């Protein structure tokens, strides 16, 4: 009998070719398949008459084919099938792209159901590329239809049929890891009903029951895992740090810290003196001064006779931290070193030896800091920058280099407190909610694509004043075929260089480039060797370029608000007025509402709250791995009451059964979800 770890290729109806396509989505086992949840649903239960179709509205129509289909060859790779359908109220002209096989499948006189976007006017109704199926089959019409996230080579039809086969294969073996007493106390449906109706809902009520059960389960397991992480941390005792005269550090800075920065420093130092390892998240907008908070903690740690390490996600960011912090700290007698993957082998050996001997007090670097050969004499503080770029396992790997070191996590991604509790539930949270004086807000505008000539003229005007510009292209495609980010960025950069800005220096950078290439491009931009940098979101966490004053974001509707805010944070770092221009031709009401948020506020926390309200947390961090289990069904923006219920249920269960010995299925499921934090759970 199959179990949930069974390879999908062994499931009836899923052969090698389909299995290979599904694996591109990360679907390899039966569990992966049935847990590939829809991103939305279309209600296709009700048909409209042709005469009642509204242009721009998506609807179902049941109509009879009135004449034989015709095929037109437009150009290479483009064939059109056109056919006319009728009902008692009117005529509908249908067009299909590159589906020539429909010429023989759509039979004159037969009735079919068409689902698509209606166009035309009162007299002539049309529909392009609708879904079509015979009236008596109704696999994709006549019901609530799930819409799944896709990749190249996997269609909605393939995915839906594969999931149907997967559910049939595991109907008798689906384990219910949610304790029965919890399920009954919170009036939740059984697991089999939940999976069946999240994918193939009988009606709205069944879908609501399924969604509530699966959302509660996610939040419940998550709460248990986080409470266990927290309790393990709280039982560890370390020698408390002793008081240090911090005025020496403050007087060495070329500027005064803000009240918000001083408050965050005091919270962190209090943790370090408590006798329990600090585990604190310091979050604040780009430019709010998190690095100086970290520097204060590093000074405090070293003056207590221990070492500190700061890990950044990229070499260029590590070098930026080194050049910013080392001069200040070395004047205070702290020995600093930079260790990255590109450091010469001889330098790596020398730094490793000095760290092991305690001759270096503070190491700044990338993942090179956690390689097996690097050991520390007495690592007392671990600082990680841009935590959402790292997994919990990487944070744990650096922490494992010392005996329960204090941990400070810096994040420039403002996170609503409700979401922070989920993503960083094992951390205390400090917030820098004020920018340093002198920072000018970035002026933000949302414009349609017809403004391109004006935008280009504006870029040229600022270039004549010595300013630089970022232009960001999205790497998401509206079609089922993912766009090639290299092609989009390189083609756009080539067009700008040859046609728009032949007299300016245009460069490009994208995620498929090697790290050394990316660093070289960014370093050249920082040195003002280029005027315009065309990029994907790879620049979202990047080098500080105070001279960059314009951020242009193409197809802005394809990004989340928090991501747009992060990109905006790349400019406005110098003394010049800076600008962010959001270009979008998708000007529907929802898009206008979302982009308007950016034009009205530069407060990252307000932006994040609005992003969470509009989209939920599902894609709050895009495709990043933050090291804790992602929420596939639950929506923190909408499910706050359910979150409270789940947290209380988790507390009650752990109070009765702290080690989950009486609930082995629950323990196994929590451990599985927290695989990246396995060191903390084992």
pLDDT digits (tens, 9 = 90+) for 82-106: 899 998 888 999 889 888 888 888 8
Q: Give pLDDT, residue 333.
A: 92
380 touches 308 (CB < 8 A): yes
Q: Which of 126, 123, 116 is nearest to 42 (CA)?
A: 116
Residues 636, 646: Cα–Cα separation, whole Å: 12
Burial of 477 (0-12, 13-18, 19+ CB in 10 A): middle
Joined together, the tokens standing for residue 114 give 């068409």
Provide the CA 265 distance to its chain's centre, in angstroms.
Answer: 29
Task: Decide: helix, strand or coil at residue 338.
Answer: strand
Quickly list DSSP for 174-225.
----S-HHHHHHTT---HHHHHHHHHS-SSHHHHHHHHHHHHHHHHHHHHHH
Question: For residue 680, is pLDDT > 70?
Answer: no
Over residues 416-458, the pLDDT tens digits come to: 655 565 555 556 777 777 766 667 788 999 998 899 999 999 9
Residues 383, 324: Cα–Cα separation, whole Å: 15
Side-chain-side CA neighbours of 559 within 13 Å: the count stands at 27
Longest dimension (CA), the chain: 90
Whether CATH 1.10.8.80 fits 247-432: no
Q: Which of 510, 478, 476 is nearest to 492 (CA)?
A: 510
> Quick one: CA dihedral 102, 104, 108, 109, positive or negative?
negative
Residues 92, 47: Cα–Cα separation, whole Å: 14
Model confidence, pTM: 0.59
Q: At 136, is the pLDDT very low, low, confident or very high (cuts 50, 70, 90)? A: confident
Q: Which of 41, 47, 94 is nearest to 69 (CA)?
A: 94
Task: Decide: helix, strand or coil at residue 1.
Answer: coil
Question: For residue 260, is pLDDT > 70?
Answer: yes
Residues 565, 595: Cα–Cα separation, whole Å: 10
Q: Give the residue-averaged pLDDT of 640-668.
A: 86
Top mean-pLDDT range of 70-79, 154-163, 321-330, 482-491: 321-330
Joined together, the tokens standing for residue 430 give 């400090």
Residues 602, 660: Cα–Cα separation, whole Å: 46
Q: At 473, is the pLDDT very low, low, confident or very high (cuts 50, 70, 90)? A: confident
Q: Which of 276, 275, 292 is nearest to 284 (CA)?
A: 292
Burial of 632 (0-12, 13-18, 19+ CB in 10 A): middle
Burial of 340 (0-12, 13-18, 19+ CB in 10 A): buried
Q: Which segment of 339-343, 578-582, 593-597, 600-604 scores lowest on mean pLDDT?
A: 600-604
Summary mean pLDDT of the chain: 81
Burial of 105 (0-12, 13-18, 19+ CB in 10 A): middle
Q: At 227, is the pLDDT very low, low, confident or very high (cuts 50, 70, 90)? A: confident
Over residues 505-547, the pLDDT tens digits come to: 999 988 778 878 888 898 899 899 999 999 887 776 666 788 9
Local structure of residue 497 (DSSP, 8 states):
I
- Full strand arrangement of the beta sheet holding 428-432: 336-339, 362-365, 307-311, 379-385, 406-411, 279-284, 428-432
Bridging pattern class, strands 307-311 and 379-385: parallel
Burial of 72 (0-12, 13-18, 19+ CB in 10 A): exposed
Residues 62, 86: Cα–Cα separation, whole Å: 9
Domain 443-615 fold is Rossmann fold (3.40.50)
Local structure of residue 331 (DSSP, 8 states):
H
Top mean-pLDDT range of 89-103, 214-228, 325-339, 557-571: 325-339
Residues 107, 123: Cα–Cα separation, whole Å: 25
Residues 611, 479: Cα–Cα separation, whole Å: 24
275 touches 403 (CB < 8 A): no
Q: At 589, is the pLDDT very low, low, confident or very high (cuts 50, 70, 90)? A: confident
Residue with tokens 């986080």: 226
Residue 29 phi, psi dihedral angles, 5° rounding: -120, 170
Local structure of residue 7 (DSSP, 8 states):
B
Bridging pattern class, strands 131-134 and 125-128: unpaired
Joined together, the tokens standing for residue 261 give 């920065």
Task: Decide: helix, strand or coil at residue 42.
Answer: strand
Question: For residue 75, is pLDDT > 50?
Answer: yes
Q: Which of 389, 423, 383 is nearest to 407 (CA)?
A: 383
Q: Give pLDDT, residue 542.
A: 62
Local structure of residue 74 (DSSP, 8 states):
E
Q: Which of 89, 86, 88, 93 is nearest to 66 (CA)?
A: 86
Q: Which of 306, 370, 376, 353 is nearest to 334 (CA)?
A: 306
Here the contacts of 44-50 (C-beta below 8 Å, separation 24 or greater) are 44/115, 44/140, 44/141, 44/142, 44/143, 44/144, 44/145, 45/142, 45/143, 45/144, 47/113, 49/87, 49/88, 49/89, 49/90, 50/85, 50/86, 50/87, 50/89, 50/90, 50/91, 50/92, 50/125
Q: Which CATH class is domain 1-45+143-175?
A: mainly alpha
Please tell me the CATH code under which domain 50-142 is placed: 2.40.50.140
> Quick one: CA dihedral 602, 562, 584, 573, positive or negative?
positive
Joined together, the tokens standing for residue 581 give 């221009």
First to last CA, the chain: 30
22 touches 33 (CB < 8 A): yes
Residues 617, 593: Cα–Cα separation, whole Å: 18
């Amino acid at each position: 009998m199959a179990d949930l770890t069974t390879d999908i290729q062994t499931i009836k109806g899923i052969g090698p070719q389909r299995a290979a396509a599904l694996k591109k989505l990360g679907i390899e086992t039966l569990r992966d398949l049935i847990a590939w949840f829809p991103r939305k649903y279309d209600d296709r239960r009700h048909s409209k008459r042709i005469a009642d179709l509204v242009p721009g509205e998506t609807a179902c129509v049941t109509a009879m084919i009135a004449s034989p289909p015709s095929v037109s060859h437009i150009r290479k790779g483009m064939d059109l099938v056109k056919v006319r359908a009728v009902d008692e109220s009117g005529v509908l002209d249908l067009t299909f792209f590159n589906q020539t096989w429909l010429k023989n499948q759509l039979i004159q006189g037969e009735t079919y159901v068409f689902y698509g976007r209606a166009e035309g006017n009162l007299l002539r109704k049309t529909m392009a590329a609708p879904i079509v199926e015979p009236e008596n089959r109704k696999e994709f019409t006549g019901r609530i239809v799930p819409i799944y996230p896709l990749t190249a080579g996997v269609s909605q039809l393939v995915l839906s049929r594969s999931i149907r086969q997967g559910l049939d294969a595991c109907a008798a073996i689906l384990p219910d890891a949610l304790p029965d007493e919890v399920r009954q106390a919170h009036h939740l449906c059984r697991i089999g009903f939940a999976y069946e109706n999240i994918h193939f809902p009988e009606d709205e009520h069944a879908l609501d029951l399924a969604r509530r059960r699966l959302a509660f389960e996610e939040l419940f397991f998550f709460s248990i895992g986080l409470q266990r992480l927290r309790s393990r941390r709280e039982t560890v005792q370390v020698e408390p740090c002793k008081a240090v005269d911090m005025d020496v550090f403050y007087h060495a800075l070329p500027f005064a810290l803000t009240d918000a920065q001083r408050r965050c420093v005091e919270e962190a130092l209090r943790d370090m003196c408590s006798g329990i390892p600090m585990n604190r998240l310091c979050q604040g907008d780009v430019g709010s001064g998190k690095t100086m908070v970290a520097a204060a903690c590093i000074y405090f740690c070293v003056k207590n006779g221990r070492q500190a390490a700061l890990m950044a996600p990229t070499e260029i960011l590590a070098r930026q931290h080194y050049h910013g912090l080392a001069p200040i700290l070395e004047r205070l007698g702290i020995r600093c070193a930079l260790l990255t993957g590109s450091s010469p082998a001889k330098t790596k050996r020398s730094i490793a030896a000095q760290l092991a001997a305690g001759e270096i007090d503070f190491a700044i670097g990338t993942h090179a800091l956690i390689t097996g050969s690097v050991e520390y004499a007495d690592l007392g503080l671990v600082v990680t920058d841009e935590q959402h770029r790292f997994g919990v396992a990487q944070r744990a790997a650096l922490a494992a280099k010392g005996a329960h070191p204090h941990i400070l996590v810096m994040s420039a991604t403002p996170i609503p407190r409700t979401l922070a509790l989920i993503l960083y539930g094992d951390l205390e949270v400090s917030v820098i909610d004020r920018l340093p004086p002198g920072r000018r807000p970035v002026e933000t505008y949302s414009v349609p694509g017809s403004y391109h000539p004006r935008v280009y003229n504006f870029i040229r005007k600022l270039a004549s004043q010595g300013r630089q510009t970022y232009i960001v292209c999205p790497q998401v495609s509206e079609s089922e075929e993912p766009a090639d980010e290299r092609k989009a960025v390189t083609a756009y950069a080539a067009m700008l260089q040859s046609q728009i800005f032949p007299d300016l220096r245009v460069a490009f950078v994208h995620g498929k480039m090697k790290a050394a290439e990316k660093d070289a491009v960014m370093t050249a931009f920082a040195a003002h060797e280029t005027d315009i940098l065309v990029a994907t979101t790879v620049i979202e966490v990047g080098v500080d370029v105070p001279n960059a004053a314009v951020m242009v974001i193409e197809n802005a509707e394809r990004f989340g608000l928090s991501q747009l805010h992060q990109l905006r944070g790349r400019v406005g770092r110098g003394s010049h007025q800076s600008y962010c221009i959001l270009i979008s031709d998708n000007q529907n009401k929802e898009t206008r509402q979302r982009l308007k948020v950016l034009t009205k506020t530069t407060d990252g926390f307000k932006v994040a709250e609005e992003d969470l309200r509009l989209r939920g947390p599902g894609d709050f961090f895009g495709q990043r791995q933050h090291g804790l289990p992602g929420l596939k069904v639950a929506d923190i923006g909408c499910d706050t009451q359910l979150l409270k219920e789940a947290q209380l249920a988790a507390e009650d269960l752990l109070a009765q059964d702290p080690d989950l010995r009486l609930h082995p299925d629950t323990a196994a499921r929590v451990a599985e979800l927290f695989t990246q934090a396995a060191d903390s759970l084992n």
